[in-house]
A and B are shown apart, each in its own frame.
Chain A
Amino acid sequence: MTVTLAPPAPVRTGRASLDDLHARARAARRMVIDMAASPTGCHLGGSLSVLDILIAALDRANAGDGTEVVLSKGHAAAGLYAALHVSGILAEDPVPRYGAADGHFTGHPGAAVPGVRFPTGSLGHGVPYALGWALGRRMAGRGGLAIAVAGDGELQEGLIWESCQVAAAQKVGNLVLVVDRNGGQNDGAVDAISPLPRLADRFATFGFDTLEVDGHDLAALRDALAPARDGADRPLAVIARTVKGKGVRPVEGKPSAHYVTIDAARAAVWKELVR
């Protein structure tokens, strides 16, 4: 395979303690706030809702068994960069060059960033990328999960369900699709635009195993992603209930937090609020 921009190899540092994961999540939230205070601003609400999922998923990848994490909701790039950095995979602090002309930290992630194998941003594509990766690992007799992280609004893309259909038909049990169920999308609430009732049942009907967890409970997320699933013949969907803007009280649950640009003074106040 030829990759347009070959990134440096990501670093795998091994698994962390639960306390370390909590510390990483707090540090990453502060970095995301700093990126919201960059000249470009960032997708703050979705970056904060997905952050604990990413912290747990990247810790799973740090096991070094070939597990790959694909952020399909690529607009949460700020969250991904921060999570990669605090997880020890991305050496460079992404904050100073987020959105800048002299760096690769674009508003949707590209494969020039260490730890980002698949570029994403146009919604829906990350899930079939992960599906192909999972299938390839299985065919090669090698372990590891392919963890695709999608938004609930993203599930409105037909490509997602094409991929779920194929994943179940091909019995790709090492594919894990984590849904960041924050209930929001660009123009408002998912329920008001194109609701997703009985979401776990939908995945079950497609032939997935399903789990529903608190998407901000790092212990629960870690447990959900722990099994190797080498012998599984049904892919797994994890519905992670989350809050948009989680961890920063002034924006928690607010649709207006979808994309935010703030100044340095406000960023300093918000970082103090991170729990």
Chain B
Amino acid sequence: MQIIKDLHERMVRIRLFETEAGKLMEAGKLPGFLHLYVGQEAVAAGVMAALRDDDQITSTHRGHGHAVAKGVGFREMYAELYGRVTGACLGRGGSMHINDLARGMLGANGIVGAGVPIAVGAAFAARYKGEDSVAVTFFGDGATNIGAWHEGANMAAILGLPVVFVCENNGYAEFTPQSGHMLLTDVADRAAAYGMPSVIVDGMDAVAVHRAAAEAVERARAGAGPMMIEAKTYRYFDHQGVKGLRHPYRSDEEVAEWKARDPIDLLEARAIADGTATRAELDDVWRRTRDEIAEAIAYAEASPLPDPADLLLNVYSG
């Protein structure tokens, strides 16, 4: 089944991009912050496999996975993490602002929840221009406590816009567990407040995420308005960085439990069991991706830094 291979490759690309970025950060090679996506790969892969290049996404501060899955190149992403002029943002944006308009990646965002109304605007533009593209906005559980999230949800609903709301519920708003920041068990319940249908999926199961996303995307594309998907997932690394655990806000047992249901392991077991792929074929994906990443990192490290004389470039248009 081709979709299994597609999901697998997207997830491996995210996993390796992120783990290598984490190593670079640990080695002190990257400036700024790094919010790693490892563990949540099934969500980005499952949703993005249901999208076309002209479909738009807005992402979060944990945005690398979305960018990779949407097809943004490793070279410009690593170069941006390094602050090089060849980066996706010419070294002006960094990890939290990677974009690629050709791929419909309208940007990761340093402000929690801020991408939600922007996706609503992108969907508005699609309908205004008579195009059938949709917009997907990714956000975490914590972002649904922000006003912009609620305003964006209501705005999308009342205007009947083709927006898919994807909650990546990893159980923590930074370091605060979900029980400490909302009384709900399911974030999806919030969709009902805006007359928006919703579905809850296992966010470690890329196939399940993909099915839900395909349905929501087709529904939006057909003009039936917004829908919300809540994917229950988990991040393996800390909120920021690789090993910044200054206080034990979650237990080793909890992390181990989630890792036992690793989204890539689950999909590989499934692919081998149903004969979709052999172990050797899957290993080949890892190997090819590693090579591509090593080349991209070398490219980034060899790239020039921005010229301080160009500091004011792109503050304004024209």
A binds B: no
List chain B positions with a Cβ less than 8 A from chain A.
none
